[in-house]
Structure 1
Amino acid sequence: MTTDEPLALGIIGAGVMGRRMLDAVLGEDTSPVRISALWDPVEAAMDRVGSAYPGVPRVADAAAVVAACDCVYVASPPASHIGHARAALDAGRSVFCEKPLAVDLADARAFVAEGGGAGAVNFPFASSLGVATLERWISEGAVGTPRRLTIEVGFAAWPRPWQVDAAAWLDARAEGGFTREVVSHFLFLSRRLLGPLRGLSGTVRFPETGRSERAVDTTFRAGEVPVTLKGRVGETTTDDHNSWTLEGDAGAVRLRDWAVAERRLADGTFEAASDAMPNETARPIALRRQLEGVARMARGEPHHLATFSEAFDVQMIVEDILAL
């Protein structure tokens, strides 16, 4: 691939994330990638793609996706991630994978050692405009010396309404739950901006046999900053509400509802950045920036995406939380 032609991207998985990727690529006249192949083992999912995106090449299996592309986007359920990613790397392709890398930590650790720099993980905060605003404010001294970080997530129900088709794994203890699916993003953000995550303590509740967690209360440190994490299902009427709030000796900043950067005023209230936008508007922009990073990664160039190593660090603390 030369730098002036789109990257050939193959997609494994036609669920919510696979379809978002299709929207991001096909909705751009000048996308840095093109869809070279797509496969999902569920026939109905393939049929939906054929109806919505008739020009997308649908192929017979995962091996055909790998054969048709320069980079494989793995958007299948978590238990299948590492098998598809290994097959792609073994064939000399690069990999852009949804988190987690694997459902088994030992397998993920081995994969990271094998994978080197030939891949990245889709943590969109790496490309978020709201996060970029927070970083600018922090560098300008809006926080001063960080004193504490608070992460809060809440859901009316789990899975969220738009995820019900994947409830079989999203609400199971082996692969699902809001800590893996949502909290992991804020853990990645904490690690990238503040440092390694360590010193975990707290509690997690699994009140329904076989189903995922319904409450998480933990403390740990990101670098030298104390962190408090609270997650709940069923204590709000909002489908999805979250905040990441960093306080210091000079002030506070936060990211609210995935995308809105806010700064604390002298009266204690928070004010959104002048260019802040809701997640529905910000998400496609972040994904476009992710795709630009994928193209650079596949060419062996420096990129801003979450590395395999960063993703594994996040996965380790996620699984530690769920084992409390």
Structure 2
Amino acid sequence: MAELLNIGLIGLGVMGQRMLARLKDHPRLRAAWVWDANPAAIATTLAAHPHLRAADSAEALIRQPGLDSLYIATPPAAHIALSHAAFDAGLAVFCEKPLTVDFDAARDCIARIGREKQRAAVNFSLASASGLAALQRAFGAAAKLPLGALQSVQIELGFAAWPRPWQAGAGPWLAERVEGGFTREVLSHFVFVLQRVLGRAEVLESRVSYPADGRSAETALSASLRADGVPVTIEGRVGPEIEVPDRNRMHWRASDGEVELREWFGLSEQRKGGLVQPLGESEALRGAAQADQLEQWVALIEGRSHSLPGYAEALAVQETIEALLAGKT
């Protein structure tokens, strides 16, 4: 029987709790130690998962003997410092995005990862999705273009409110423009897909709307980009006229067909002149992607090849995201 791999989790908000639930029945990955800056979050977590042990601090958790990997689900400002501490302790790191609020610090961290062969990845949920695999087969660098030449990409996002109802426990940072907002939290997943398939995107134009309070995150974004010569348009907004908490669509149109990702993991394809062919419902494909992501995490810990985005790829996504938020006319 393969040995268990012990995981320490720092950050017990929404994402930390979701990861604990996913790890619960995994045959190899075992949540062992937790810590959060909020004592109430620790108490609630221990009550729900009595096998866990709570460390006295983030630093104490990282130093615990027997750990194999650290999962970081704190607000972004702490990500790089925690990553360095984990590398010092010999741990593989799986970090939530956005990667950082300090690009220079992130570049220094990326240089260390390359220099020391540290094991680190960032959680973009679509990295293990069937939709990404289908897009790479159709339009990636090695693709034989079964749907013809790619002509355009459209990304559409809508939210009834921001943050979404299930994010209520994430903390105020998610609703504020310094670290939060739907562009960083949701659009980044689709920019990751775009850039993994086509390479770095250039922002040609971007218009961003913010509330007048000077603090809250964006309520709308409209942008034009170009990736590998292909025009890309983005439309995202928050408003009560949107009837569901979270709506998203990514449409790839080629000369001889189309591919669409919808509601995160839903996937369909249409050949020119043919009917739309559903290739999987969102929830079924979500489960398969999440299961594969955990297997990729095992590979990361064991130093094997994996498909998880590294810190350099995550930073490239974030640079595009921040360029969008900076606005350009």
TM-score after normalising by structure 1: 0.92
Deviating above 6 A after TM superposition, structure 1's stretches of 4 or more consecutive aligned residues are none
The one-letter code sitting in structure 1 at the alignment partner of 2:38 is: V
- Matched position secondary structure for 2:304: coil
2:268/2:277 contact within 8 Å kept:
yes
DSSP 3-state at the match of 2:217: coil
Is contact 1:191–1:223 with CA below 8 Å preserved after alignment?
no
| Structure 1 position 71, deviation (Å) | 1.1
Q: State which of 232, 243, 249 in structure 2 corresponds to 1:243.
A: 249
Task: Describe the SS at the equivalent of 1:54.
Answer: coil
One-letter amino acid of the structure 1 residue matched with residue 251 of structure 2: T
Residue 126 of structure 1: CA displacement? Answer: 1.1
Displacement, 1:10?
Answer: 0.9
Partners of 1:271 and 1:322 in 2: how far apart? Answer: 35
Residue 59 (1) aligns with residue 55 (2): yes
Matched, 1:295 2:298: yes
CA RMSD, Structure 1 to Structure 2 (Å): 1.9
The structure-2 alpha-carbon separation of the partners of 1:179 and 1:199, relative to structure 1 and needing over 3 Å to count, comes to closer
Structure 2 letter corresponding to 1:244: M
Q: Distance in 2 between matches of 1:268 and 1:177?
A: 39
> How far has the Cα of 1:190 moved from its partner?
0.4
Whether the 8 Å contact between 2:203 and 2:226 is mirrored in structure 1 is yes
Give the counterpart of 2:89 among 85, 88, 91: 91
Residue 42 of structure 1 corresponds to which residue in structure 2? 38
Give the conservation status (yes or no) of the 8 Å contact 1:39–1:58: yes
Aligned-pair CA distance for 1:119? 0.3
Partner residue in 1 for 2:10: 12
Residue 298 to residue 166, structure 1, CA distance change in 2 (3 Å):
same
User: Which ranges of structure 1 fall in alignment gaps of 5 or more residues?
Assistant: none
Deviation at 1:87, TM superposition (A): 1.0
Give yes or no for the alignment of 1:252 onto 2:258. yes
1:211 aligns with 2:216: yes
> Hey, what's the Cα distance between the residues in 1 that align with 2:192 and 2:274?
27
Aligned identity (percent) is 40
Q: Over residues 60-109 of structure 1, what are the superposed CA-to-partner deviations in whole Å (9 max), with x where a residue is unaligned?
A: 21123212312111011111111211111122212110012211222222
Shift in Å at residue 288 of structure 1?
A: 2.3
User: Secondary structure of the equivalent of 2:53?
Assistant: coil
Task: Give the alignment partner of residue 147 of structure 1, picking from 125, 148, 151.
Answer: 151
Q: 1:129 maps to what in 2?
A: 130
Aligned AA for 1:125? L
Structure 1 position 180 matched with structure 2 position 184: yes
1:307 aligns with 310
TM-score normalized by structure 2?
0.90
Q: Find 2:231's aligned residue among 213, 226, 233.
A: 226
**2-side partners of 1:105 and 1:86: how far apart?**
15
Q: 1:167, 1:269 → 2: CA distance?
A: 45
* Cα separation, 1, equivalents of 2:227 and 2:274: 24
Distance in 2 (alpha carbons) for counterparts of 1:65 and 1:167: 22
For residues 252-280 of structure 1, the C-alpha deviation after alignment (integer angstroms, 9 at most, x for no partner) is 1010000100113556864421xx1333x
Cα gap change, 1:46 to 1:167, in 2 (>3 Å): closer
Partner of 2:120: 119
- Say if 2:204 is the partner of 1:200: yes
Quote how far apart the aligned CAs of 1:141 are. 4.2
List alignment gaps of at least 5 residues for structure 2.
none
Evaluate the alpha carbon distance shift between residue 236 and residue 140 of structure 1 in structure 2; reply closer, same or farther with a 3 A threshold.
farther
Q: What letter is aligned with 1:23?
A: A
Measure the CA separation in 2 of the matches of 1:4 and 1:27: 15
Q: Secondary structure at the match of 1:5?
A: coil
Which residue in the other structure is 1:162 paired with? Answer: 166
Judge conservation of contact 1:134–1:254 (CA < 8 Å) in 2.
Answer: no
Deviation, structure 1 residue 152: 0.7
Asked whether the equivalents of residues 153 and 250 of structure 2 are also in contact (C-alpha less than 8 Å), the reply is: yes
Matching residue's letter, 1:191: Q
